[in-house]
A and B are shown apart, each in its own frame.
Chain A
Amino acid sequence: MQPADFTALPQRPLRERRSSKRAKLDDGEPAAVAASGGGDAAAAEGQAAAGADQQQAQGEPQMQDQQDVQQQLEKQEQQLAEQGEPAAGADATPQAAQLDLPAYRSAAVGDYKFEYLDHTADVQLHAWGETLREAFENVALCMFNYMTPLKGISLDAAQTRRYEAEGHDLQSLLFNFLDEVLFAFSTEFFVAKRLRITRFARADQPAAPGAAKGAGEGDEGGWRIEAEGEGERFDRARHACGTEVKAITYSAMQINEKPGDAEVFVIVDI
């Protein structure tokens, strides 16, 4: 019996991977992420691969600054090729040249700072902001928007709802926060069109991404969010039905924080 020959699948050189369906990226965003991706030693391999993806998946390379970044990334790609495959374990595979992976943040919904990413059975919420607080606010809105388009929701000041959540580390804080928001929707049918985190207490310093996991032990009240949501009750007669979110998951949850930029990935169960 022959083992399945993965390398026999058709290969295309990385460069030619383009997609005309791709929406234009925000100016400066890809450069910022790609550049910082190169500089951050800890997540260098993974980020560089993603950065390379971003650049490759972009449309016309007409802008000057992008050409510079292009060169930078070509260098990174070379480095990658020399180093070997990115962290993928024993199942080393060739570069996925034939997959058209969209650049992150290219599918932002309207003016909001969030987008939905492909997942086979569910959906991955991806939200960002200048601070982690903003990213958390946006991911909650991202979830609401999936259940019913936010533009159909009006702001009823009398129905402003307060949320509170606690956790033992950053990820559990995010999880509990979203769970609380979802719970409020499931029981009271409240949809927030705007959300403001009024208190964001964290027991760590917001410097190193990913280090929060172990740093939260000790102080009971060390991780806490208090937020205020403005919106109204969901009414089937007036609001469009989207897709119901059933639960928040820890699956592939990522919270990435850098000075001046933060992003959050959460998969929700549909």
Chain B
Amino acid sequence: MAYIEQLSPYHYRVKPGFVPGMAVPGVFYVNDRLKGLLFEELQAFCARGAHGGFLPAVKQISNVAALPGIVKKSIALPDVHSGYGFAIGNVAAFDMADPQAVVSPGGVGFDINCGVRLIRTNLTEADITDVREQLAQALFDHIPVGVGSQGIIPTTAKDLEEALEMGMDWSLREGYSWAEDKEHCEEYGRMLNADPSKVSARAKKRGLPQMGTLGAGNHYAEIQVVDEVFDRVAARKMGIDQVGQVCIMIHSGSRGLGHQVATDALVAMEKAMARDGILTNDRQLACARINSQEGQDYLTAMACAANYAWVNRSSMTFLCRQAFAKLFNSTPDDLDMHVVYDVSHNIAKVEEHMVGGQLKTLLVHRKGSTRAFPPHHPLIPVDYQLTGQPVLIGGTMGTCSYVLTGTEKGMEETFGSTCHGAGRARSRNNSRNKLDYQQVLDVLKTKGIAIRVASPKLVMEEAPESYKDVSEVVDTCHAAGISKKTVKLRPVAVVKG
């Protein structure tokens, strides 16, 4: 405990030495209410000793700080919790010019390009109150969700190859997305270094039946209304400045394909680690030199998986637009169903950042963390140049979601990254056993939220009580200055797997 010091009410530093080999300090952003959970994980770990259990997030942040080539610090956002290798909510940047620097699939996460997309409409809450249940049902019918679900967008193996290579350009070509959707997506919906030949046949087999599905777990599609506007100017730029305005939020990733890509890469890199003499504190921190064959293969395969996820979200955007258009007897265009923005929170990107006064090219791993670039950054769309990149923070089932904007301070302190959501507080198993399915549903009903779930057990696992308070997380980020609150959204209908 002597290694952990508090730097401000909002962030703590873990000094090198907490675990062997730390090259840089670790930093985590939490406030008083959130820090209890972090320390509880650490406590449980110490109590279990070496038998069973798992590594707490604080240790993981420190193990990451021991990886070769890491720059500045290993950062954890307020929603951080234990993951595999890297904690979820962990950001780490590696110097691409350093031949020792590594790339790690654990730093991206299994669900490559798990992200959030926000679509606005010009409907207001009053317009949908009567048809809320039908809307939820329509979404549930249109978007495949849950265990064993299969996509309804016709796709052949060749289509899949093209989709992996072209990302949203494929969706555009096939007519599933609008041209302007690309503008409002990170990387314009396509990572250019994608090479489908680097994706294994196994991964493609898993991905083919799942194209256009939502997935299970904490993924969802929600119909939300604007509850509160904190920053009028930025909200107006995004087109969501009316309180009561209806929006749709989709939280989904690259499904089985992304997972298989990550698994394959971990296996390949494990072998490479012995060859290249890379030592880490944790087997799950499998990594490879960025310039090695395995490293490069992973980055291109990751780009394919990222493209797949964007295609997925575009397909679901298409299905949502169809569902709404049908129900309101109108067209998606007339309903102004434009994409506000699409963010990724499990991805590794090559970016330029100022480190010690010098501009460096870094490979920034963001796992459970969203990019939040400030105003005037060249990589964000033209119409958001003055306000900054929108950051979409999904709440949990039945709680609020937020839209934030990136700040300069965030750019300096966290490589332009911020939180991604609520972060879990209570384990799934714990929730399954201790929460009552009917109770959770009743609470949602009293809040006036229509819900459609494929799995009853998931309702308990995903109950808001199982998660940290997203408002706390967002407030901590806001107070630490790494992102700015813009809009708060309240759900009125939820579709979950």
* Residues of A in contact with B (beta carbons under 8 Å apart): 1-4, 6, 43, 45-50, 53, 85-93, 95-96, 99, 101, 104, 107, 116-124, 126, 147-148, 168, 171-172, 175-176, 179, 183, 186-187, 189, 234, 236, 240-244, 246-254, 256, 265, 267, 269-270
The contact size tier of chain B is 35 or more
Can you show 24 pairs from A to B with CB atoms below 8 A apart? A2-B6, A3-B1, A3-B5, A46-B50, A47-B49, A49-B47, A50-B51, A88-B46, A90-B3, A91-B3, A99-B43, A101-B48, A104-B52, A117-B53, A120-B81, A124-B429, A168-B271, A171-B283, A236-B149, A244-B146, A247-B263, A252-B55, A269-B111, A270-B217
Known: A3-B2, A45-B49, A183-B206. 20 other contacts (CB 8 A): A2-B6, A4-B6, A6-B39, A47-B49, A47-B50, A50-B49, A90-B2, A90-B3, A91-B42, A93-B1, A121-B428, A123-B428, A186-B206, A187-B205, A236-B454, A243-B217, A244-B146, A244-B147, A251-B85, A252-B52
A95 and B206 contact, CB distance less than 8 A: no
A175 to B12 alpha-carbon distance, docked (Å): 36
B424 and A236 contact, CB distance less than 8 A: no
Q: Is B189 located at the chain interface by the 8 A CB criterion? A: no
**Chain A residues with CB under 8 A of B487:** none
A99 and B40 contact, CB distance less than 8 A: yes
Nearest neighbor of A243 in chain B, beta-carbon distance: B458
With beta carbons under 8 angstroms apart, the residue of B84, B206, B461 that contacts A251 is B84
- Interface positions, chain B 198-231, Cβ under 8 Å from A, are 202, 205-206, 209-210, 215-218
Nearest neighbor of B59 in chain A, beta-carbon distance: A89
Nearest neighbor of B202 in chain A, beta-carbon distance: A183
Q: Is B99 located at the chain interface by the 8 A CB criterion? A: no
Q: Is B160 located at the chain interface by the 8 A CB criterion? A: no
B497 and A120 contact, CB distance less than 8 A: no
Would you give the shortest CB distance from B280 to chain A, in whole angstroms? 12
Q: Is B381 located at the chain interface by the 8 A CB criterion? A: no
Nearest neighbor of B255 in chain A, beta-carbon distance: A246
Q: Is B110 located at the chain interface by the 8 A CB criterion? A: yes
**Known: A121-B83, A269-B84. Contact between A3 and B424, CB under 8 A?**
no
**Known: A1-B5, A2-B6. Contact between A122 and B147, CB under 8 A?**
no
Would you give the shortest CB distance from B420 to chain A, in whole angstroms? 12
Would you give the shortest CB distance from A178 to chain B, in whole angstroms? 10
**Chain A residues with CB under 8 A of B270:** 172
With beta carbons under 8 angstroms apart, the residue of B39, B50, B82, B497 that contacts A244 is B497
**Chain B residues with CB under 8 A of A121:** 81-83, 88, 424, 427-428
Q: Is B176 located at the chain interface by the 8 A CB criterion? A: no
Nearest neighbor of B431 in chain A, beta-carbon distance: A118
Nearest neighbor of B433 in chain A, beta-carbon distance: A107
B148 and A234 contact, CB distance less than 8 A: yes
- Interface positions, chain B 266-322, Cβ under 8 Å from A, are 266-267, 270-271, 283-284, 286
Nearest neighbor of B19 in chain A, beta-carbon distance: A89
A104 to B286 alpha-carbon distance, docked (Å): 29
**Chain A residues with CB under 8 A of B19:** 89
A51 to B63 alpha-carbon distance, docked (Å): 28
Would you give the shortest CB distance from A111 to chain B, in whole angstroms? 19
**Chain A residues with CB under 8 A of B3:** 90-91
Q: Is B4 located at the chain interface by the 8 A CB criterion? A: yes
Would you give the shortest CB distance from A104 to chain B, in whole angstroms? 6
